Every structure is written in structure tokens, then in C-alpha cells.
Structure 1
């Protein structure tokens, strides 16, 4: 697994050079302007996910390779990652000893807390043992609840892998998650697994197929679920559809598809009431807001994104850092796109204070910092502080 310490825009330049292509040749193949590509490479513009996907196709590499895969940190991180891969490989080899359900519940609760707090180091340390224990428990109990517990453990693996752009591990985790929920009838679990599967298409930049997965899962949820479980399934699937729509090349179609999913997510969230944790995911009206803001930024409508609220702190109150930090990063993107550099720097600082470990692995957080560093004529205390957090030079 190759990794890079370069922020996305700088990594793009390195990839283009390694492929022996000029800016004009790559721009033509990716259907982007030479001016935009040049500005991205020198740090005057951010490399957006949509452009990263287009450039990846032109280079014959995946979007995660363009954004740059994040490495693991910590003294035992390499061994822990190897142990996690081994646990997933042994999906049909449960241990002989019994595992109490209380132990699985405690492990899943810890995994949720680490995800919510974006404590990726602690999560990586926990997951190898949790996956093995949940596997043994599921085989022994053979109930929908036990298999769903295993599926949730795999979903946490997907979450960790996707954040680092380890897409081989992310795809394997999702395949195992889908397999687990199929062992006993579990329509809600199937919807959550479909949402994660669509996420792999999002991470690879294959937007149309990701939307197909979402729409098919929505149809199944409408048929197989009722009440709160149906609202939860519809909400998480619509949120994934909304995010995918924001990355469509055709922005007119993207806006149409995004609005369709925004309406569906709002309607489902109204049935849920307040935000709640469901198998490691935050579901409810506030989380719909964070996704809508991000989607409007992806659609190239930064002012519409910023107009969604006059008090962002209040709108995010009560949400976990895993939702707060990306939202402030997206606000920073919107502020940067509208020429408010100081405000963007302030928002980025808030994001990284909310989830410090995210600073080293979030591609858009690193990319916004790169551009802000380039645009500021001289470094200041805030830039230097973020440089230390992110591991990137000013």
C-alpha cells in the first residue's frame, strides 16, 4: 500500500510528472482547463473531489491515489493493521472459545466513541480483537442481532479504511459487512451495508454506479421496512445519495439529484426526531444539515452553503467531532472560494481543534491548508500551529 505525505494538489503534480504528461495534455484528457490545473498545482486553488476523480481517470489511477493515501502512525500501528487484515481474512474461522455478548456490546460502544471522537489510533488498536470476537459470537449465536454486531464491526473497519483512503481494505470490509447481514434476515442492516458499499464508489469517483446502489437500496427499504427503521434507512441512504450527487460531472444533473435526496433525507429525519446514534452512525436533522452544506460546496455553490445558517456552532451543537470537523472544513472551503481567507483559516483551526487526528488524514483539510499557506504572503501563528498539527510545512 503506497502512501504519501503530500497534500492532494501537490500529489497531483507529482503523479502528472511521474506519468510524463504536460499540464495541457492532462487537462485535455481530464476535460478541465489548463488554467485550473495550473492553479491547483501551484496552490492557488483547491483540488476538489470531482476534479480528482476526473484526473484519476485520465491518469488511469483511482481517485484515492490522486488524493493520497494516509499512512498509519504510532509505534504498533503497522502490526495492528496487519492483525486487522488477518482478522478479516479469517471471516469464516471462528475461535473455539465462547465470547459473551456483553463483551461485544462493550467493544462496539468503544468503537462508536472512537469514531465519534475521530480517535483513529485507538480504533485501529481495538478493531482486530473486536472483529475476531464478534465473528466467534455471531457463529455461536446465529441470530440477526449477533450478525448485525459483526456487520457493525466491519462497518467501523470500512470507516477507518475510507478515512485513510485504503480502498482495498475498505472494499473488503464492505463485502464482509454485506455477507454478515445476509446470514439472517435484516433489512435495516442491509440498508446500512448498501450505504457503505455506495461509499466505496464515492471514494473511487465512480459516482453513477454509487447512485445506482443507493437507489436500489432505497427501493428495498421502502418495501421491507416500516416505522423508525424505515426512516433511519431512508435517511442514511438519502445522505449518501446527496453526497454522490454533489460529485456528478454534470452539475445541473447533480443539483437535480441532490435536491431529490435532500428532500428525502429531510422527510426521513423528521420522522426520526432528534439526532441519534444507530450502529455507529449519527442519524437525524442535524446530520442532514451537515451533508447538505457539504453537497452545496461540492456543487460549486459556496454562497448557498454559507447561507444555510447564521450560527454554525449552534447548528452543530451536540454532534460528535466526526461530524463537526468535516463541516468546518467544508465551511473553510466555501469561505476560501468566496475570497474570505482569514475566515477560512479560522474555520480550519476550529475543525482541527475538534478532531486533531483528522488533521493528518483528511484530504480536503490538508488541501485547504496548502492553499491558505500558499495565498498568505507570510506565515502567522495560526498557520504555524496548523502546520504542526497536520505535519505539513508552511
Structure 2
């Protein structure tokens, strides 16, 4: 799959024409209206994840390919090749002793780069960290050692999924699951299941993703019953799985079923989050009341309920206080998407600009960020001064 600088809606037109399909033919196969497809292609409507998944199935490609694989700098290509090599060598540990403190320091640095979306630094760090974490896990052969290796693979998955490098994402979650299975580790298995369900989300197969989430939740409950998991670790496992569940549910094609399933996961996530007065950072993930809020807002937008999404808070900045840039920027993008659905172009542009200011690298590779920008530029007919400023900031031409 090649990279593209196109926004998702424009990429749909490119993929359709490359296959010699008419808009009418594609619309019929995807079960969407010709009017909607036409508006998506020209930039008058944003391409939603659910419609992207339907179009992907009709075209015979993944949703990730419809959204477009994000490009990287030329200097990063060699480092990515080194990362792929390290993933392949998962059972070939390097012959050197590695101290636990070194792995912990590497994971802390990876977490910082992830939270601040410093992609180039993260790509440079991961190959060596993965090889050293592999050597350490083999040497100590403890649940903690294998969990640290799984956390590295989880970060690799995050990097790959955000850029829609789905071959690497699938390999990463497979290795992550392998690592946590080396020693009994219910929490690690739950986090690995959460990431694996994410690959189904990226491919547009939300039904299978939901099945995996529910199976993982049942496993957590079984571990709790036999006293293998309890307290904050149990709440973290349940909470993280339900965050993934609500996102998947919000993208079901049947919106009545989507709403029912989403509410089930939202309620469970809220209940788990109640055990954390402040959001917790653990294993490269964030969980608590504020991150649950960000997921609920995004889910309600996916459900086609922008008023409900905006009604969740009267002060977005305050609701996001303390969260990393990786959560703040996408939430402003989702808020902008809700405002766009309600006809508030100025508000949408303001929130999109905030997203780019908070985390420019994240906003640039975020498919909905690019899509909202494209629709705003079309609706404003490219004459808005703030839009011109954002075009320069983002590097996306009007």
C-alpha cells in the first residue's frame, strides 16, 4: 500500500477511478447514497469512519487503505527497516546483558515521545529498545520482564496504527500477545487484546473487534473470580477494554445496535474510571475520567449525535486538563467534526487550529484532522484568513 498526502475523501475518488468504477456503482456496492459519495469526494462532507469502512469493503481494500497510509520523512525509512528487522528477530535475543533500569528508562522515554507525538525520536528509539527488551525478558523470564517487552510492542503498534502501516501493526500485536503469554499475566493479556481489537478497528471489521473485546472482558472477570486480578489493575483492564469497545460500537453500521452497544461500554468504562480520581498513566496508556470523556465524545460523534457530543462539556479545555497531547489533539478534532456537522464552521476551524497547535505531528497524520480541514477549505472557498494560516501551519495546501 503506497503513501498519500491526500485527505481521505479525496483518496476515495482516486481509488475509485483507479478501479474504473463510477460513483453510482461504488455507492450501490457500499450501500451509501450517490449524493453522499459525491459530497465526500469533492470535499463538501467529511468521510466518517463507518462510511470509510463500507467503501473499503466495496473496493476490496481495508479501511486503512481508504484513509491512506501516512508518509514519513526519508531519514526515518532506514530506522523503520531496522524496526521491522527487530520485530522479525523476536526469538533471537542479542547476546549481551541488559539492566532492568535501562529498559525502564527506554520505556519512559518512549512514553514521553508518544505523549508529545515526537514521531522521529520514537522511530529512532524503538529498534534498539525492542532488541534490548527482548534480551532482558529472555534473561529474567519473569512476568514483569515479559510485560516490559509487551509494552514496547504496544508502542510499536501505536506508531504503526497511527500511520496506517497495518502490516507492522498486525505483527506488533501478535508479538505483544506472545510476550505476555510467556508467564501468567491477566493484565498484560487484557492490554494485548485491546491492541489486537484495534487492528480490527483500523481494518473496518468492527464486529470482530467487538467480539475480541467482549471475550477479553470475560477473561478479566474470570481472573478476578480466581483472585488473579484485583484492585486498580482489574479496573484498568476493564476500563481500557471498554474504551476500545465503545469506539468499535460507535462505528457499527446498524446505528440502533451501535447506540445500544456503545452505551453498554460507556457505562462500564465510567464505572471503572470512578476508581481513579485522576487519570492514570500505565503501560503507555492513559485511563481515568478524563480519557473516558474523550472516548465518549468521539463515540457520540461517530453515532451521528453531534449535539450530545458537544453537550458533554461546557469547557473543553478544562475537561482535557492533564491529558497528553495524543488525547487532547484528537478530541479537538472530534469536537470540530461535531461542530462541522451542526454548521458551526468558525468553531470547527478554531478547534482544528487548536489541535494543530497542541500536536502538529498528530494532527497532520490524523485522517479526520485532514478531512475536516479539507471540508472547511471547500465550504469557506479557501478565502478565510484563519484557514490560510492553518494551511501554512499544517503544510497542507488549499
- Bin the TM-score by the shorter chain: over 0.9
Counterpart position of 2:226: none
Cα deviation 1:227-279 (Å, max 9, x = unaligned): 11110000000000000000000000000000000000000011233101010
Q: What secondary structure does 1:70 align onto?
A: coil
Contact 1:326 1:351 in 2 (8 A): yes
Mapped pair 1:325 → 2:304: no
Q: What secondary structure does 1:282 align onto?
A: strand
Cα deviation 1:25-59 (Å, max 9, x = unaligned): 10000000000000001110000010000000000
Counterpart position of 1:13: 13
Counterpart position of 1:59: 59
Counterpart position of 1:91: 90
Q: Distance in 2 between matches of 1:205 and 1:388?
A: 32
Task: State the shift of 1:120 in Å.
Answer: 1.2
Counterpart position of 1:77: 76
TM-score (ref. length: structure 1): 0.99
How many residues matched? 393
Q: Distance in 2 between matches of 1:379 and 1:91?
A: 52
Task: State the shift of 1:4 in Å.
Answer: 0.7
Counterpart position of 1:247: 251
Counterpart position of 1:32: 32
Q: Distance in 2 between matches of 1:281 and 1:388?
A: 32
Q: Distance in 2 between matches of 1:226 and 1:273?
A: 18
Q: Distance in 2 between matches of 1:51 and 1:79?
A: 35
Q: Distance in 1 between matches of 2:363 and 2:260?
A: 33
Pairing 1:162-241 to 2, within 5 Å after superposition: 162-224=161-223, 225-241=229-245
Among 267, 273, 279, the alignment partner of 1:275 is 279
Task: State the shift of 1:88 in Å.
Answer: 0.3
Task: Report which stretch shifted further, 118-127 or 334-343.
Answer: 118-127
Task: State the shift of 1:372 in Å.
Answer: 0.4
Gaps of 5+ in 2: 224-228
Q: Distance in 2 between matches of 1:252 and 1:195?
A: 24
Task: State the shift of 1:360 in Å.
Answer: 2.0
Contact 1:235 1:264 in 2 (8 A): yes
Mapped pair 1:23 → 2:33: no
Counterpart position of 1:386: 390
Mapped pair 1:297 → 2:269: no
Q: Distance in 1 between matches of 2:396 and 2:9?
A: 13
Counterpart position of 2:50: 50
Q: What secondary structure does 2:46 align onto?
A: coil
Q: Distance in 2 between matches of 1:379 and 1:223?
A: 58
Contact 2:27 2:37 in 1 (8 A): yes
Gaps of 5+ in 1: none
Contact 2:154 2:176 in 1 (8 A): yes
Q: What secondary structure does 1:319 align onto?
A: coil
Q: What secondary structure does 1:76 align onto?
A: helix
Q: Distance in 2 between matches of 1:388 and 1:121?
A: 21
RMSD between aligned residues:
0.8
Counterpart position of 1:146: 145
Q: Distance in 1 between matches of 2:15 and 2:394?
A: 22
Contact 1:359 1:389 in 2 (8 A): no
Among 335, 340, 343, the alignment partner of 1:336 is 340
Contact 2:382 2:388 in 1 (8 A): no
Q: Distance in 2 between matches of 1:258 and 1:226?
A: 25
Cα deviation 1:124-149 (Å, max 9, x = unaligned): 11101110010010001101111000
Q: What secondary structure does 1:6 align onto?
A: coil
Mapped pair 1:354 → 2:353: no
Q: What secondary structure does 2:70 align onto?
A: coil
Counterpart position of 1:365: 369
Counterpart position of 1:311: 315
Task: State the shift of 1:172 in Å.
Answer: 0.3
Counterpart position of 1:109: 108
Task: Report which stretch shifted further, 369-378 or 168-177.
Answer: 369-378
Q: Distance in 1 between matches of 2:95 and 2:127?
A: 17
Task: Report which stretch shifted further, 221-230 or 96-105.
Answer: 221-230
Q: Distance in 2 between matches of 1:106 and 1:252?
A: 46
Q: Distance in 1 between matches of 2:214 and 2:113?
A: 30
TM-score (ref. length: structure 2): 0.98
